[in-house]
Structure 1
Amino acid sequence: MGEKSMGLSLKEGLLKEREAFVCHKEKNGGAGFKCDSESVSGAVSQRACVYCGARVVLNPITDAYHIVHGPIGCASYTWDIRGSLSSGEEIYRNSFSTDLLEKDVIFGGEKKLAGAIDEIVEKHHPKVIFVYSTCIVGVIGDDVDAVCRMAEKKHSIRVIPVRSPGFAGHKSMGYKAACNALIELMGEEKSTEEKIEGINFLGDFNLAGEIWIISEYLKKLGINVVAKITGDGKCEEIMKAKRASLNIVQCAGSMNYLAKRMEELYDVPFIKVSFFGIEDTKLSLLRIADCFNDPQIRLRAERLLDDEINSVIKELNYYRERLKGKKAAIYVGGGFKAISLIKQLRDLGVETVLVGTQTGKKDEYDEIRMLSNEGTVILDDSNPFELEKFIKEKGADLLIGGVKERPLAYKLGVGFCDHNHERKHPLSGFEGALNFAKEIDLTVNSPVWSYIR
């Protein structure tokens, strides 16, 4: 990976401390690309905080209660502004907060937290409560673990601390904190009960009902879903997850740690999958089928793939013609999604000219580099200045990102596709692949651009 390509000065205008995080894909480029590190101070990173990462993972559990131990502002980060759906209870859409004020910062907030737990138990009779530590709690040193232990003894329910003060790292550390809380919910001891012939679905948060789409595919294959972790998940099924025969991991960034811990503690093997795009959905379903060593499951998978691909191929070909030659920039949370998006865009005839993530790992960036065309800008933990600079330099027609990238796309006068948690339409599976192609076509080929430009 080198510094220059196609006559562009890659590092011009960048903060010196950020130079190692940005590169061009080149045939004979050297190593040295930096990722999975703390954000550079003053760079206005697009990353979220530790607490945010923990909420992303735990909040979709539909029958759990969530107490934010901190100022009221942190509680504004709730699932009600996101696209995760439930087939049962809706309590997860609410946040409860201890609303720490100045006097609590001075004298401590442990009594306030204990009182909040008592009140929720009295009014709502929860099965499980997660208690999130925020930045201010990390500063004043409240013993949240001790308060949770006392509450468990007092009320005979699970009260689980989530160690997520925002300044303790970045979003990936929040994922890890949430996964540790899930292990605490399951219990570290190995189950003595008989294994369940079925899978746990890790790392899908049921945005716009996507977990239901994939679960339906698995049902047609004859594969039982033991636990959904965490989209449309329930505390009771998550507590049984250690008895499953296989974990499939959709969002590696948030759930790879949990999958490895479950393999160590409970002997549950795992495979990584992705249901974004025709290619990865097909490969993932076949890999899952092969894990069961059952010719009938493999046969059902092949028939399902034939039926589903045939149902969308005609419309996809229509969009391929309309999108051929367009250029896209990708900036998403995890590397697994970026990899699938590069493949999906390539299938539609769209060239990826910029790709970056908030929390990608080295092995993911190695695969991104392998998939990318020469001259593609690859960057980690970017900021608005860098994204604007390279979108303009590479002549992208489209930016695929999340809510924080949307204003930037509109400012630059390029199309935008929301591939984050706020969206209300599914992008997973074969149905999602068609929705993605439609959305790309609608935004890239909109007549509005001829007036703006």
Structure 2
Amino acid sequence: MENRKAEIIEDRKEFVCYNSKNNENKLKCDQNSVSGAVSQRACVYCGARVVLNPITDAFHLIHGPIGCAAYTWDLRGSLSSGSELFRNSFSTDLSETDVIFGGERKLKDSLDEIVEKFHPKVIFVYATCIVGVIGDDIDAVCKMAEKKYSIRVIPVKSPGFSGNKSMGYRAACDAIIKLIGEKKSKKKVNGINYLGDFNLAGEVWVVENYLKRIGIDIVSKLTGDGKYDEIIKAPEAKLNIVQCAGSMGYLAKKMESLYDIPFIKTSFVGLEDTENSLLQIANIMGNEETIQKAEDFIRQEEEKIQPELDYYRRRLTGKKAAIYVGGGYKAISLIKQFRDLGIETIMVGTQTGKPEDYDIIEKITNEGTVILDDANPYELEKFMVEKGADILVGGVKERPLAYKLGVAFCDHNHERKHILGGFQGAINFAKEIDLTVNSPVWNYV
């Protein structure tokens, strides 16, 4: 084992470990990426953009070179019940001349054109790396535009080199607070805010339907299918539920401090976490009738899907899974979901996991499971081969790596177009895992 560990880059050793229940050394995490390790993470700007982009009626203007806008164009498979404006990627397209003489004039002209042509309710202006270098005062330009046009123009401080992807999440959350304002609401309604779901394949609507079935309303969605008029009402809610704690845990804490809205971490990935989340919300928000509705609803949905799930369990029991996703809470849910299907998780890593996430991962995985933070392709390849993974669950960057190694792959990140959350999502997930793991193509590799 010591020889295997020695192959890891020296500066990365503290970010990689084999699970040992008696090991008191904690995995290092939530740090900037190690230079030269070719991290699978994205930059600060990308982190901010993925959080804010699903606000459907907002105008997203990238102040920087055209490549930054192209990099994040329609980067989430978020769906909208209204405007499709958010699908576009708009840029000030800074060139060499702008770098020398400054890009503030170009930003001002771009804002004038946007308001004249599109009349949006809110504009987010993203600062990229080059803007951080040349020092454009986007705060001042945004403030002038707000005053001139009487609309919200929110600067997003996200130069890519200023930290890691988690810093981008924080920049986005700060922008949301700036949009909502810091005043408490005198009016409170019996509803919740849904934080940290980005409506991939319409999953926000699935959860919204579940909650309506048990008598609970959503005040605002942050940010999947989010709309300006809903978001500014967020302080009226009585509870925040957080699906992706990695991206929205910071916002939930800020809202608790500013608006006195408590929050709970939830997950609608996998049967176990979906059921626990519904019961937890019902207990906090409702009465005996609400709790009974939740229990009845869960029982009905379980009865519908159990026969099909049992079929897939028989076909998948004994397989080995590797997981590499963005946030720690999703990784935890996936470990439980694989366990329910009879699949052992032999490697698990995240891009933005926190110490508390890794503590839970350590408890729910077996001895010897490889745990990584902010991995690079070499590490993923090394441990998948070493542990004999049958499938890798990750994002689009990990797909070629899996196929190169002859390992099945399941996309659980931004680009997917099918529901993997909730009760139906549990079936879809099991079906996809079966189709790819048990595909006859592996007989020819």
Shift of residue 10 of structure 1? 3.6
Partner of 1:255: 248
Is structure 2 residue 219 aligned with structure 1 residue 201? no
Partner of 1:314: 307
Contact 2:59 / 2:86 at 8 angstroms: preserved in 1? yes
Cα separation, 2, equivalents of 1:292 and 1:169: 38
Contact 1:356 / 1:379 at 8 angstroms: preserved in 2? yes
How many residue pairs match? The answer is 445
Contact 2:21 / 2:363 at 8 angstroms: preserved in 1? no
Partner of 1:432: 425
Contact 2:57 / 2:86 at 8 angstroms: preserved in 1? yes
Is structure 2 residue 4 aligned with structure 1 residue 29? no
Partner of 2:41: 47
> TM-score when scaled to structure 2?
0.99
Q: Letter of the aligned partner of 2:201 in structure 1?
A: A
What are the within-5 Å matches in structure 2 for residues 318-357 of structure 1?
Answer: 318-357=311-350
Partner of 1:68: 62
RMSD in angstroms over aligned alpha carbons? 0.9
What are the within-5 Å matches in structure 2 for residues 136-215 of structure 1?
Answer: 136-192=130-186, 194-215=187-208
> For 1:8-32, what per-residue CA distance to the aligned partner results, in whole angstroms no more than 9, with x for missing partners?
7441321100111110011322314
Q: Letter of the aligned partner of 1:317 in structure 2?
A: D
Partner of 2:363: 370
Contact 1:204 / 1:229 at 8 angstroms: preserved in 2? yes
Cα separation, 1, equivalents of 2:70 and 2:189: 39
Cα separation, 2, equivalents of 1:289 and 1:33: 35
Cα separation, 2, equivalents of 1:339 and 1:107: 49
* Greater mean deviation of Cα atoms: 72-81 or 92-101: 72-81
> For 1:192-226, what per-residue CA distance to the aligned partner results, in whole angstroms no more than 9, with x for missing partners?
3x101100000000000001111000000110110
Unaligned 5+ runs, structure 2: none
Shift of residue 442 of structure 1? 0.3
Cα separation, 2, equivalents of 1:309 and 1:418: 25
> For 1:279-319, what per-residue CA distance to the aligned partner results, in whole angstroms no more than 9, with x for missing partners?
00000000000002411110100010011111110000000
Cα separation, 1, equivalents of 2:417 and 2:263: 29
Shift of residue 54 of structure 1? 0.5
Is structure 2 residue 78 aligned with structure 1 residue 102? no
Cα separation, 1, equivalents of 2:96 and 2:21: 57
* Greater mean deviation of Cα atoms: 10-19 or 409-418: 10-19
Contact 1:247 / 1:269 at 8 angstroms: preserved in 2? yes
Identical counterparts, % of pairs = 70
Partner of 1:445: 438
Is structure 2 residue 394 aligned with structure 1 residue 406? no
Q: Letter of the aligned partner of 2:418 in structure 1?
A: H
What are the within-5 Å matches in structure 2 for residues 276-291 of structure 1?
Answer: 276-291=269-284
Other structure's SS at 1:434 match: helix
Shift of residue 82 of structure 1? 2.9
Other structure's SS at 1:440 match: helix
Contact 2:37 / 2:376 at 8 angstroms: preserved in 1? yes
Partner of 1:91: 85
Q: Letter of the aligned partner of 1:257 in structure 2?
A: Y
* Greater mean deviation of Cα atoms: 73-82 or 420-429: 73-82
Other structure's SS at 2:194 match: strand
> For 1:223-281, what per-residue CA distance to the aligned partner results, in whole angstroms no more than 9, with x for missing partners?
01100110001011000001111100000000000001001000111110000000000
Unaligned 5+ runs, structure 1: none
Contact 1:199 / 1:224 at 8 angstroms: preserved in 2? yes
Cα separation, 1, equivalents of 2:282 and 2:113: 47
Other structure's SS at 2:190 match: strand
Contact 2:131 / 2:159 at 8 angstroms: preserved in 1? yes
Other structure's SS at 1:317 match: helix
Cα separation, 2, equivalents of 1:443 and 1:350: 14
Q: Letter of the aligned partner of 1:262 in structure 2?
A: M
Partner of 1:223: 216
Partner of 1:379: 372
Cα separation, 2, equivalents of 1:54 and 1:252: 15
Shift of residue 372 of structure 1? 0.6
Q: Letter of the aligned partner of 1:369 in structure 2?
A: E
Cα separation, 1, equivalents of 2:72 and 2:297: 37
* Greater mean deviation of Cα atoms: 265-274 or 73-82: 73-82
